[in-house]
Structures are given as C-alpha cells and as structure tokens.
Structure 1
Amino acid sequence: MAQELFLYETLCEQLAARIRRGGFAPGERLPSVRVLSKTFGVSVNTTIQSLHKLEMDGYIEVRERSGAYVREQLPAIGLSANLSHFPVLPVEVSLSDEILHYMEPYALSQALHLGIALPDASLMPVEKVMRLWRDASRRHTRTLWDYSHPNGLPLLTRQLALRSMGHEVAIADNDILVTNGCMEAIELALRAVTRPGDVVAVESPTYYGSLLALEVLGRRALEVPTHYRDGICLYSLEQAFRRGQVKACIVSCNVQNPLGYVMSTERKRRLVQLSSQYQVPLIENDIWGDTAYGGDTPPAKAFDHSGMVIYCNSFSKSLMPGLRLGWVAGGRFHDRLRELKQISSITTAAGPQLVMARFLESGGYAQHLVQLRAALHRQVGEALELVRQAFPPGTWVHPPEGGCVLWVRLPEHRDSRKLFQQALDDGIHIFPGSVFSVGPRHVDFMRLNVGSALTPEVREKIRRLGGLAAELQ
C-alpha cells in the first residue's frame, strides 16, 4: 500500500511538472489511462489515482466519456499543498463540546467577532422588514395568532416556488415545507432518509453545523476531499456510492462554507446524476447561495429530474437570522418530511412567513440582494488584501465567490486552536479550522468572518491577529 501511494504521488508530480513546462498545452487532452500506464510503467489503478489528485490540485478537469483535459488556468505553485488527500473511511462524529467552546465568545459584546459567519446588520434593510412586521401585526392579527398550515403559508410557498421558475426543473408550491431555519430543514432531511448508525457523505472541510447534526442524530460521517474551487471530488464520491458506503450526502454547491466556491453547472449536473444513478439522496444546503457575487446561481436542485435532491435554505445569512425562517423542498421525500415536521415543531410561526412573503412579492428582496452582493464583494476583497499584508509569509487564502468568510491557512502547520485563545485574550474572536472536519486535517486553517465594514479599529485588530499568527510556535 505504501509503495502504491508513493507511485501515484510521484506520477502526479511528473505530470504536473510536464504540464507546467508546456508539455501539455492548456485545453489539451491527456493520453488515455492505458497509454499513461504503459508509458510510465505503472498500474491502471495508480494512473487513475494520480489523475484524481491532478484534478483535485487544479491541473486538469475530467470530462465524462471524453477524458482528462489540461485546465486553461493552472494553480499557483505550491497551492496543491493546501488540499486534503486522505482515505475515505466512515468515522464517528464527536465535536459538540469543541464547537460550543469556540461559539461561546460570540456572546462577548466587547470582542471583535470574526468567528460567527454573518453579514453585518448595517448591510440589511432592517427598517423595511420591521415596517412589514408592524403592518402584518395590524392587518393579519388572526393569522399571526393561529397555527399555520404544516407546509407553510401559501402566500410564502408561492413566492419561494416562483424563484425557481427559470430553473431546468422548477420547484412546485406544494413541494415546499417551511421550517425554523436551515438547520431544522437539514435535520428533517437526515431523519427522513437515514437511521442511527448510517453513514453520510460530507465535504471536507464542511460546515460544522452539519457535523454537529450528524453527531446528535447518531450518524457517521464519510469525509470526501473537497477542492477550494471545484467542490466535492466527484470521483471519490462515486466510489463511495458504488460501494454502497453511504445512505445520503450533504453538499453545498453555491458559496460553500467555509471554502466559498460556486460549483460549475457541469459539475452540479454530474452530482445530481450520481445521486439518481446510485439512488443516494442528496441533501443540498444552499443557505449562502443568494450571496454569490455573480448573481443568481442555480442550485443542484435545478437539475433534479428524479426528485433525489432535498433542497434546504433560509434567509438567515442573506437577510435576518432573527426571523428563523427556512424551507425545504423534499422531492420524492416530501411526505416523510412533513410527517417529521408535525411531530417535531408542528408548524412554523406565521409572522415571519407573512413578512417574507410581502418582501418577496414587492421585489424588495431581489433589490436588496443586488446591494448586498456588491457590498460583501467589496468588503471581502479589502479584507483579503489586508490579510495578505498583515499575516506572516506563507499564509494562504483564496478569494471566495460569495458570502463573507475567508478560509485562511497558517504557514508551517501552525495550530489555529492556539491562536484562538491568544486572539481572544486580545479581544478577537475567530473560528479554528479543526471543527470543519471530523479528523485533525484542518488545524492549521481558520475561518474569518469579514461581513462588517473595515473600520480603522477592525483593520487594526486584523493586523494584530496577523502579528499573533506570526508569533505562534
């Protein structure tokens, strides 16, 4: 096994060097697997592994039924060291104590909050939303007092469905179930398609809330290597599907947390095809999708012809976390989701639903998103440059395609868990990378929330954080 690992890594390095020297031009198709195996004197399996690593490192893209092609834009030298390559094995999740430990400082009002991922309230139309709330209280008192339909208020579900009208596969009104935030949607989805002890495929790194849900529900995680630009490795995922290793898969295709990528349409289609082909439900967390800088971006659900994608979303990141308003479109699993909702929280409060329905109907939400995306794009760009200036040489950070977080890797394998405490002592709250993976694969990473304006005070704190990172042993 050790010899095989050495061979595929060596072959990968040789091919990468040849690509960089111009031996294979951008857009050129590489020789077939069998030709490469014969040329380099290695097994077909070793060649496939090396091509898989080249794809993960950003040198090639593998096109279905066509072959491997050199990318038009190659990664920066040394960038592949920031990607994780590891055996894909199911593991128990045990992160709740660690996650709660890192979340607690959010309650400290005097700290600079770079830990919890959330755009600043100053970027949100708070007054408009509150006016709608006051109006709903006057005009719809009985509706606010009573239970709403288990699916949600028709006025809201209609507006949510309309947002998908341009998709290849639109979501119907009666396929939507309104929830108390995105996490309830994800929890209901997991309970609908898995049982305690089942294995669920997740990205690595992934949102720690998904890992916490798996732990609480007694599911195991199978971490799949995930590229900072292209998303979850479809090759590794298909191997897991083919072996029958997993009962479901949780993914974020748009503005993934913490990496910030937007998966290409081609890869989204392929992901949904794999879900349908192997009959593995796909739980899609699209909570950051509305913040993509490039504008409206279709989720994987948009290509779901077989109903295998359970789409989960909310307005917590794009408008107002206090609304606690989310939704799930369950496809073929809708009836089971509704049963679970009724024995969980019965229904979702009518007030937030009325407010959001009116905001969507008026066009106010669409207008808000245009302004929000522009503001976040500007702030994140400024913060990115500041981090590159203030942090020690060798620090790695890749520009996200939406949202307001930066995924930062410290040089020389410095432990961000140590930096967490030192930063907190200086009034700075960060989130270490260790909780974005079940295994100890991201301890030298951290996630920074840069959803607030870079005031002189914030700039000084980020410079101080960079100084602490430089001093870290």
Structure 2
Amino acid sequence: MGNVLGVLDEVALAGADNALRLHQDNNNKGADVSGDLFLYQRISRRLLEQIHSGAWAVGDRLPSVRHLSKLFGVSVNTVMQCYRQLEADGYLEIRPQSGVFVRRADADGMPSPEDSRYPLLPVEVSLSEQVLRYMALHARNDVVRLGIALPGAEVLPVARVMSVLRDVTRRQPLEAWDYLHPNVHNPLSHQLARRSLAFEQPYAADDIIITNGCMEALTLALRSVSKPGDAIAVESPTYYGTLLLLEAHQRRVVEVPAHPEDGISLSALEQVFQQKRVAACMVATNAQNPLGFTMSAARKQALVALSARYGVPLIENDVWGDTVFNEGDGVPAKAWDSEGLVLYCNSFSKTLMPGLRLGWAVGGRFHRRLLELKQLSTITSPSLSQLAMGRMLESGAYSQHLRELRSALRSQVVAMTALIAAAFPAGTHISRPSGGCVLWLRLPPGVDGDTLFLEAERAGIHVFPGAVFSAMADYRNYLRINAGNPVSDSVRAAVVQLGHLATELAKG
C-alpha cells in the first residue's frame, strides 16, 4: 500500500485542491467540531463531503499522499491511513502505479428494487399503533430529533413570517377575523395560480382550494375519487402518512416498486392499471419521502399519459416539490395534465412554517366534489394564514427564501451523508436525495430498524424505522434520518452514537 501511494503524482487537480483548502479554512475559523475523531477520520470526512458534493466524480484521481500531508499539516502515515479506510469502505480504488481514484461506494447509493418481491395485489393497512409509538418520541425535549422529516427553524424565516402576521392583524383585522370562504376572491389563490403560468397545462385561481395543510388536501382528493374498500396504488417505500391516511379511510393498498433515482416503476404500474386493481394512484414525483428521488420530466409526462390511457386518477403529493435542489427539475406531473385526472396537493408546512397549517389542492375534473367535501368538513381554512402567505408570495419574499432553503438543505444533506458514511458500519447504503431533507438507509444484514430505534431511544436519539414505510412490513432493515437541521455538535454526536449502535447490532 505504501509503495503504491508513494508513487502518486504530486500535481493534484487545482479545483479539488481549492475545494479542500476552502473547506479546511472554514473549519479552522470556528470551534473544532470534530475533536472526538482521530486525525485520519477528520480528513476522511472532509474528502467524503467533497465527493458527495461533486467536487470529485466517480473516476477522478485524488491528490497524492505527500500533497495531502502538506495540505492538512499531518504525517504521510495519517493520510495513508485515511486512504486505506476509504478504500475499505468502498469509496476509493487504489490502482498500482496509477494512483487513487474515486469509485461508486457501496454506502453511497441505494440498490434498485427487486420487482419480484412486489406481488402487486391489494393488502390491508394496519400501521397506526406502530407509527404513533414512533412519533411520540419527537415530543420529548430531551432527545436529538432525527426522526420527523422537517427543516429546522434555523433554515426557515421565522422572524419574517411573524412580522408579516403582525402586519396583517394590524392592517386587515376584519379580514383576518372573518371566514375567508373557498368560493370567493382570494389573493392567495391568485398568487398560487401565477406559479403555474409556465406549465404546459396551467391552472386558474378558481381551480384552487385552500386546505388545512397537505394532509387535508390528500384526504379530500382520496375521498373524491374512491370509496371504502377500494385499493389505491402507492410507490414502495412510501410516506407512512399516506399509509395512515388510507388506513383511516378504509382503503387497501397496492405497493408498486420505486427506483431510488427514477421513481415509481411505470411498467409495474401499467400492469396494475390494466388489471383494474385500483381506483386511484397516490404518488410523489418530486423529492419523494423517503427515497428522495425526483422523476424526470419525460417520466412525469409518461405517468400522466398512463393515467389518461386507463382513466385512473393520480393524487400527486408535491409537499417537497419546492425543495428540489435543481429548481428547474421540480415541475410537478400536474403541469402536463390535459385530462384533469391529476389531483394536485401541496402545502407550505415543509418549506415555510408547519404551524400555518396551510395547503392547497387543484382537483381538475374532480374540483366540484373536493369543494363540497371541504365545505362539509372544515368549511374554510384560517384567514390569517392565507392573508399572510398571499403577501409573502406577492412580495417575492417566498421565492427568495426558497433559493436560500434549497442551498441550505443541499449542504445539510451532503454533510449528514458524509457523517453517516463515516460513522455507520460497512454495508450501509445511503440514498442520494434530489431535494427535501431525509436520508433513507439500508442497514447491513442483521441490523433491524426497530431494534435500532429502541437502542437509539435509550440513548436519547429519535429516528424512524423503515418498516412503517410499507403496508407489507418490508424495509425492516431500513432507517430514515432527518437532515433538516444544521449539523451541530449534538447532531454529530448522535449520528456517531447511532453508528456505534448499528455496528454493535451488526456484530450480532
């Protein structure tokens, strides 16, 4: 090993050098946030952050041992130890007489699903007790919260929203006090409609129904297109809230495999549609929770075309759409809906303020039924929230915030991925989300997600086991971790502790 590394070319890529040096300088400006790690582990983590951020792509050659030794002010042996560890973890390939190269790591990607594992048959959902047990830990103030998928308040404009709310109560007290009915002029609806102007099939303000968060929008959509006993197609794994919704309304589920980068399998979904097994399909096409994929524009169009061909409504959950890191990729499937079969659901809970409880739905040909159900259930949504959000959109403050939020979440996801890769045992696979703030982990053989949850609970750490992301109790060796908070000392310590617990479980 030493001989191989010793013959590496001392001339490294200037861009990679600058990225490393900048990262080192930034770390040196503040407190030493990694004092609990050995030197070689600290260097490994910095290299991993650069690999995950794209500074080095698969196949790129890394700098020589002597170059990194000088760059970081450490011994050659320390750098050699770093490279050995990264090679053992599968991130690097050491080629005799050639150098050290980046390769796709075992821990850097989620394997494709085995389609044969999915029977594509309706099953009952019974997860409410499990999910409630897992969610209860989040309410405790003495735990590190890595379970619930939500950006931290540190990356949300709390002060700005509070200021707008105060201004609305001062300038529009009567409007804020009274009902703001869904069938009257609403400035928020007009602002939301303008966001669809570039769509191939834009929608109008009158097409929008304001709801109490995205979950109410999904509920109204589900009740509009199905009845108790019907089966609904969902991608697998899917958001556990979707499964709880279907359970509460006595719908069955057909799980369709989802590729970690391409999204729901269109061939498997067409098979389900052909056999008339479902009344509707609930999907997320942007930054899906928990896999994090964003479907390409071509696949979104193909999904909408499939819906139209078989006359099966699509309920699109786009609650993470505004967080897609590459803004142009986040166009929803609804943008190509010429038949009115896509029921679009969204909210500001994940991007601005969960306490606003403000969402909306575009029902297409089912609009009238959605409106009836809304008025028969909650009548209308809070006026103060709608007035404030209308102002945020009109002023451009929300658009500016989204640019900052996407950047922050991307950085946090990269940092958390590198931290997990360094802390967890070999054989751990980590998703590569295109937006949002969750990481989906496949744990090594022998590590059960529920067991790890219990061990983490004892250590004061909240995570979410993978089993509740499927009605068929799949994904027992999976874990979802929230990366929505900046990587603080407490978060770092929690991930290191989680990795230690997973390593111990892997040993049996």
Settle same-fold status: TM greater than 0.5.
yes
1:83 CA drift (Å)? 2.0
CA displacement, residues 299-321 of structure 1 (integer Å, 9 cap, x when unaligned): 00000010000000000000100
Please point out which of 237, 252, 263 is paired with 1:205. Answer: 237
Task: Tell me the equivalent position of 2:408.
Answer: 375
* Equivalent residues of 2:110, 2:429 under 8 A apart: no
Q: Shift of residue 87 of structure 1? A: 1.3
> Which amino acid counterpart does residue 361 of structure 2 have in structure 1?
V
Q: Distance in 2 between matches of 1:149 and 1:446?
A: 42
Match of 1:432 in 2: 465
Deviations 1:418-473 (A, max 9, x none): 00010010010000000000012101011000111111221111001000001113
What pairs with 1:108-127 in structure 2 (closer than 5 Å)?
Answer: 108-127=140-159
Tell me the equivalent position of 1:66.
Answer: none
- Residue 140 of structure 1 corresponds to 172
- For residues 452-463 of structure 1, what are the structure 2 equivalents within 5 Å? 452-463=485-496
Whole-angstrom CA distance in 2 between matches of 1:374 and 1:406: 17
Whole-Å separation in 2 of the counterparts to 1:114 and 1:193: 35
Match of 2:254 among 207, 222, 227: 222
1:392 is aligned to 2:425: yes
CA–CA distance in structure 2, aligned partners of residues 251 and 304 of structure 1: 14
- Matched AA of 2:146: L
Q: Are the counterparts in 1 of residues 110 and 260 from structure 2 also a CA contact under 8 Å?
A: no
Please report how far the alpha carbon of residue 413 of structure 1 lies from its aligned counterpart in structure 2 after TM superposition: 4.3
Give the 5 Å matches for 1:83-232. Answer: 83-85=113-115, 86-151=118-183, 154-232=186-264
Alignment of structure 1 residues 347-426 onto 2, 5 Å: 347-426=380-459
2:71 is matched with none
334 and 398 in structure 1: CA distance in 2 versus 1, 3 angstrom threshold: same
The change in CA–CA distance for 1:416 and 1:152 in structure 2 (over 3 A counts) is farther
Matched position secondary structure for 1:411: coil
Cα distance change of structure 1 residues 277 and 240 upon mapping to structure 2, 3 Å threshold: same
Structure 1 residues 114 and 401: alpha-carbon distance in aligned structure 2, compared to 1, 3 A threshold: same
Distance 1:392 1:462 in 2: 12
1:331 maps to 2:364: yes
Which residue among 323, 339, 351 is the counterpart of 1:306? 339
Q: CA RMSD in A?
A: 1.5
Q: Deviations for 1:223-265, whole angstroms, at most 9, x for unmatched residues? A: 0001100000000100111111110000000000000011000
1:245 partner amino acid: R
CA contact (8 A) 1:152 1:347 kept: no
Deviations 1:253-311 (A, max 9, x none): 00000000110000000000011111100000000000011014210000001000000
Q: Secondary structure at the match of 1:283?
A: strand
Provide runs of 4+ in structure 1 moved above 4 Å. 74-82
Residue 388 (structure 1) shift: 0.5
Aligned AA for 2:486?
A
Q: Within 2, Cα distance between the matches of 1:80 and 1:259?
A: 9
Compared with structure 1, are the counterparts of its residues 76 and 465 closer, same or farther at alpha carbon in structure 2 (3 Å cutoff)? closer
The 1-side partners of 2:446 and 2:393 are apart by 46
| Corresponding residue to 1:292 among 310, 320, 324 | 324
Tell me the equivalent position of 2:475.
Answer: 442
1:319 corresponds in structure 2 to: 352
Post-superposition CA distance 1:375-419 (Å, at most 9, x none): 110011011011011000000002210111100010014210000
Contact 2:212/2:358 (8 A) holds in 1 = yes
CA distance in structure 2 between the partners assigned to 1:300 and 1:424 by the alignment:
39
Distance 1:82 1:419, change over 3 A: farther
Q: Is the 8 A contact 1:198 1:246 kept in 2?
A: yes
Larger Rg: 2
Deviation, 1:80, is 7.5
**2-structure distance, mates of 1:162, 1:462:** 42
Alignment partner of 2:189: what SS?
A: helix
Give the whole-Å Cα distance in 2 for the aligned partners of 1:412 and 1:127.
46
CA contact (8 A) 1:408 1:446 kept: yes
Cα gap change, 1:141 to 1:81, in 2 (>3 Å): closer
After TM superposition, give the deviation of residue 122 of structure 1 in Å: 1.0
Runs (5+) with no aligned partner, structure 2: 1-102
Deviation readout 1:14-53 (Å, 9 max, x if unpaired): xxxxxxxxxxxxxxxxxxxxxxxxxxxxxxxxxxxxxxxx
Q: In structure 1, how many angstroms separate the alpha carbons of the residues matched to 2:322 and 2:231?
A: 29
Q: What is the distance in 2 between the residues matched to 1:76 and 1:332?
A: 46
Matched, 1:238 2:238: no
Give the TM-score normalised by structure 2: 0.77
Amino acid at match of 1:412: P
**Aligned equivalents of 1:263 and 1:75: distance in 2?**
22
Displacement of 1:82 in angstroms is 5.4
Aligned residue type for 1:199: A
CA distance in 2, matches of 1:75, 1:223: 29
Shift of 1:75: 8.2
Q: Is the 8 A contact 1:153 1:350 kept in 2?
A: no
Question: Cα distance 1:363–1:352, how it changes in 2: closer, same or farther (>3 A)?
Answer: same
| Unaligned 5+ runs, structure 1 | 1-73
Deviations 1:314-344 (A, max 9, x none): 0000010000000000000000000000111
